[in-house]
Chains A and B, each alone.
Chain A
Amino acid sequence: MPITIEHVTHFLSTAAKLINAHRDELTALDAAIGDADHGANLDRGFAAVLARLPTVADKDIGTVLKTTGMTIVSTVGGASGPLYGTAFVRAGMALADRHEIGADDVVLALEAALDGIVARGKAQRGEKTIVDALAPAIDALRAALAAGQPLGRATQAAAAAVYAGAQATIPMLAMKGRASYLGERSIGHQDPGATSTAYILQALAMVCNHNEEGA
């Protein structure tokens, strides 16, 4: 069963709900090694996205994702604004004019999102950032699909990998962003950006899985 605009909208509203539910946790993680605004910032951004979604409901998937990115850029005041904004805009560019997509397109969009985040933040794996959660999640998704698993199961594998990736940031020394100013004191804390990425990919897995069960 292909993924349509309804699924993408459902994914975004589910991500918004998860970010809202974990808002205080994300802000607390950011308070430890950053500037204590990650949860509040992202929650505001996704709330703005939800308000904008009806205006693009009749458009293609690429337009919806690009609009999501532009809305996040214009409403999120921390580093997560340009980073997640660029990620969604790039994913939208990868799916321009598409009304239906399959598993390979999901991989393509996530790869474009990761490339955007790497280009914007100039981060590599192991630097205690979103990249440490998103990159292994895409690896897991690709591997599961290559092993013949359906997209729902494969995105669950990605969701497991994204959590493991977020937790793996705990012993890392922060090399990017505000946390890097803490030096050694950044060790022992989970990266807030990697954690919010885990919730966003969990939303993707929930929607893809629900889609397959309903098929």
Chain B
Amino acid sequence: MIGLLIVSHSARLAEGVQEFVSQISSGQIPIVAAGGASDGSLGTSVERILTGLEQLRSVDGILALVDLGSAVMSVETALEQFTGPPVQISNAPLVEGAYLAAVEATQPEATLEEVAAAALQARELIKVFE
């Protein structure tokens, strides 16, 4: 089982992505939101990210989907203190990447590599056909 960690500068944005993506995974995979700074203001928090990672401790692998700026560095810093299952940080756009990752992760026996590859396909997603 692969879990998803949603990291955004906005706590509400992270929760929104979690809500949106949980709908298509129908609660089959764990998705945790870790948005906002430690006081809830805009920013990213190593502590909040670590708490999120700990909530996903029982899965076989975690894909972290991030928005931008300090989100990547905050996840990397948290990973230095995390001793649980393997974690990959995705280069995919947050919403679309999380969506495609969740679709892949609901496949039985999906691996972290497969889920990470599925998320990356979001970079080539065409929304408007001309």
Contact = CB atoms under 8 A, between A and B. Distances in A.
A, B bound: yes
Interface of A: 35, 37, 41, 73-83, 85-86, 120-121, 177-178, 181
Contact of A86 (B9, B36, B77): B77
Given A82-B46, A82-B70, A77 B77 contact: no
Contacts of B47: 74
Contacts, number: 57
Contacts of A81: 43-44, 46, 70, 74, 77
The 3 A-B pairs of least Cβ separation, nearest first, read A77-B43, A77-B37, A79-B70
A82 B45 contact: no
Interface of B: 9, 36-39, 41-47, 68-70, 73-74, 76-77
A138 B72 CA distance: 27
Given A77-B37, A79-B69, A177-B69, A85 B45 contact: no
Nearest to B45: A77
Given A37-B43, A178-B68, A77 B73 contact: no
A83 B74 CA distance: 9
Interface of A is mostly: helix
A38 to B, nearest CB: 11
A71 B4 CA distance: 27
A75 B38 contact: yes
A67 to B, nearest CB: 14
Nearest to A72: B46
8 contacts: A74-B47, A77-B70, A79-B73, A81-B77, A82-B70, A82-B77, A120-B77, A121-B73
A77 B44 contact: yes
A200 B76 CA distance: 24
B42 A82 contact: no
B111 to A, nearest CB: 27
Contacts of B41: 77
A78 B77 CA distance: 12
B76 A82 contact: yes
